[in-house]
């Protein structure tokens, strides 16, 4: 346990406001890959309605939300497990399938929760070197041993924004032994161009070892409510349900997620604005001479050099971004795409910081 480095979240606005005696309203937070537009107004309306009954426990089976997701994805509800954020799905898989002595495979620079969830079970993490900052799926398949029980793949990956095309992921799945669970973490899928969006949920029928995880925290703008889900074989869902807390997704989250899922126009518009914002950040960073990685998410990784110094300087200017030294990327900062004015504020603050 002492060897586990705790997850470091993006700095909360209120915390920086307290530390620097700033007005929270003047602070820009581009540090946790949230949707800067917030959730659909329909989700807010559903929460207001659900507030009328806070006395009862939520539906522990999440019947209505699972039915809505089943319809949305064209799969049977028995294949869907709800999570307290998709983070919960990652934890549930590790609880159900990893014991001390087992191995989990994940990529260098991959999402920080994979090693955490692995080490918390006393299992061994096998970190496979990245190729061009992205997952080297061939090397990951080759790293699987008889002791490997789980492989984590983030597509797109956070914090690098790298992405593997569905054909590559399909070939990888074919190469993985059928008794090894593959968690395909698609937290940012809704941000991809429609043509690139993942068909992997449809693959759970022929790959009984595949768990596809999705979230309402990113494009759906509901990070505060903590709701995500996994799609998988019913036998795997049965395992996850054995270790799942009975009421892991609260009633407001379930109601909001149903409404958010139905508002497809809002999600599409969020994705469109994200692409515009991403282009603006790419262009602005290039103008400042800062290298970036091509991103497929709602954030961008920028090589600023002395990232610790630049991060601190930006904080003093009331702009919160995310240092990624913990991911083995000490020269880089990750910037979440904000509203147009927030992106401009960041670029102006970075220009000042770089010139000091
Ligand atoms: C790749 C990836 N997976 C999963 C998550 C977990 O998000 P949540 O628990 O809010 O669904 C995140 C959040 O940053 C992420 O970047």
pLDDT higher than 90, residue 278 = yes
Mutate to test the pocket of ligand 1, among 30, 34, 81, 87 (most ligand atoms within 8 A of CB): 87
Q: Which atom of ligand 1 is nearest to the CA of 111?
A: 1
- Nearest residue CA, atom 1 of ligand 1? 158
pLDDT higher than 90, residue 279 = yes
Residue 56: what pLDDT?
96
pLDDT band at 225 (very low <50, low <70, confident <90, very high): very high
Query: Across residues 296-321, what is the average pLDDT?
Result: 98
- pLDDT tens for 246-270 read 999 999 999 999 999 999 999 999 9
Q: Which atom of ligand 1 is nearest to the CA of 223?
A: 10
Residue 76: what pLDDT?
98
Q: Which atom of ligand 1 is nearest to the CA of 88?
A: 9
pLDDT band at 293 (very low <50, low <70, confident <90, very high): very high
Distance 174 CA to ligand 1 centre (A): 25
Average pLDDT, the chain: 97
d(CA 182, CA 235): 14
Interhelix angle 307-316/340-355, nearest 10 degrees: 120
Q: Which atom of ligand 1 is nearest to the CA of 188?
A: 1
Residue 4: what pLDDT?
86
Strand partners, 277: none
- Nearest residue CA, atom 3 of ligand 1? 187
- pLDDT tens for 127-161 read 999 999 999 999 999 999 999 999 999 999 999 99
Please check whether residue 290 is in contact with residue 347, taking contact to mean a CB–CB distance below 8 angstroms. no
Q: Which atom of ligand 1 is nearest to the CA of 226?
A: 10
Angle (CA) 156-102-201 rounded to 5° is 35
Query: Across residues 306-310, what is the average pLDDT?
Result: 97
Residue 88: what pLDDT?
98
- Nearest residue CA, atom 2 of ligand 1? 187
154 lines ligand 1 (CB under 6 A): yes
87 lines ligand 1 (CB under 6 A): yes
Please check whether residue 103 is in contact with residue 147, taking contact to mean a CB–CB distance below 8 angstroms. yes
pLDDT band at 350 (very low <50, low <70, confident <90, very high): very high
111 lines ligand 1 (CB under 6 A): yes
Share of the chain above pLDDT 70, in %: 100
Residue 5: what pLDDT?
84
Please check whether residue 181 is in contact with residue 236, taking contact to mean a CB–CB distance below 8 angstroms. yes
Per-residue H/E/C for the chain: CCCCCCCCCCCCHHHHHHHHCCCHHHCEECCCCCCCCCCCHHHHHHHHHHCCCCCCCCCCCCHHHHHHHHHHHCCCHHHEEEECCHHHHHHHHHHHHCCCCCEEEEECCCCCHHHHHHHHCCCEEEEECCECCECCHHHHHHCCCCCEEEEEEECCCCCCCCCCCHHHHHHHHHHCCCCCEEEEECCCHHHCCHHHCCCHHHHHHCCCCEEEEEECCCCCCCHHHCCEEEECCHHHHHHHHHHCCCCCCCHHHHHHHHHHHHCHHHHHHHHHHHHHHHHHHHHHHHHCCCEECCCCCCEEEEECCCHHHHHHHHHHCCEECEECHHHCCCCEEEEECCCHHHHHHHHHHHHHHHHC
248 lines ligand 1 (CB under 6 A): no
Residue 6: what pLDDT?
85
pLDDT band at 185 (very low <50, low <70, confident <90, very high): very high
Query: Across residues 225-235, what is the average pLDDT?
Result: 98
- pLDDT tens for 1-59 read 888 888 889 999 999 999 999 999 999 999 999 999 999 999 999 999 999 999 999 99
């Amino acid at each position: 346990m002492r060897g586990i480095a705790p997850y470091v979240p993006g700095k909360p606005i209120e915390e920086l406001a307290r530390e620097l005696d700033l007005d929270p309203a003047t602070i820009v937070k581009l540090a946790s890959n949230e949707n800067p537009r917030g959730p659909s107004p329909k989700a807010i309306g559903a929460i207001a309605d659900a507030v009328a009954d806070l006395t009862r426990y939520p539906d522990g089976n999440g019947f209505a939300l699972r039915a809505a997701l089943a319809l949305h994805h064209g799969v049977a509800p028995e294949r869907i497990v709800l999570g307290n954020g998709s983070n919960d799905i990652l934890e549930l898989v590790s609880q159900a399938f990893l014991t001390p002595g087992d191995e989990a495979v994940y990529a260098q620079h991959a999402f920080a929760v994979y090693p955490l969830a692995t080490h918390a079970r006393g299992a061994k993490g096998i970190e496979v070197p990245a190729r061009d900052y992205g997952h080297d799926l061939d090397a990951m398949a080759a790293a699987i041993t008889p002791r490997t029980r789980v492989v984590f793949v983030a597509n797109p990956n956070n914090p690098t924004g790298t992405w593997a095309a569905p054909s590559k992921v399909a070939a990888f799945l074919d190469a993985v032994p059928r008794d090894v669970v593959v968690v395909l973490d698609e937290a940012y899928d809704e941000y991809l161009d429609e043509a690139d969006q993942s068909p992997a949920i449809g693959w759970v029928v022929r790959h009984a070892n595949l768990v596809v995880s999705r979230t309402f925290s990113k494009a759906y703008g509901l990070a505060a409510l903590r709701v995500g889900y996994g799609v998988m074989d019913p036998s795997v869902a049965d395992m996850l349900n054995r270790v799942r807390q009975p009421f892991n997704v609260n009633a407001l989250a379930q109601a909001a997620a149903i409404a958010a899922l139905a508002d497809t126009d809002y999600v599409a518009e969020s994705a469109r604005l994200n692409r515009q914002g991403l282009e603006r950040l790419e262009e602005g960073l290039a103008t400042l001479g800062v290298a970036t990685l091509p991103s497929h998410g709602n954030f961008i990784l920028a090589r600023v050099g002395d990232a610790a110094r630049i991060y601190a300087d930006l904080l003093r200017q009331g702009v919160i971004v995310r240092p990624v030294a913990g991911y083995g990327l000490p020269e880089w900062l990750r910037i979440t795409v904000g509203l147009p004015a927030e992106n401009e504020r960041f670029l102006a603050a970075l220009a000042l910081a770089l010139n000091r």
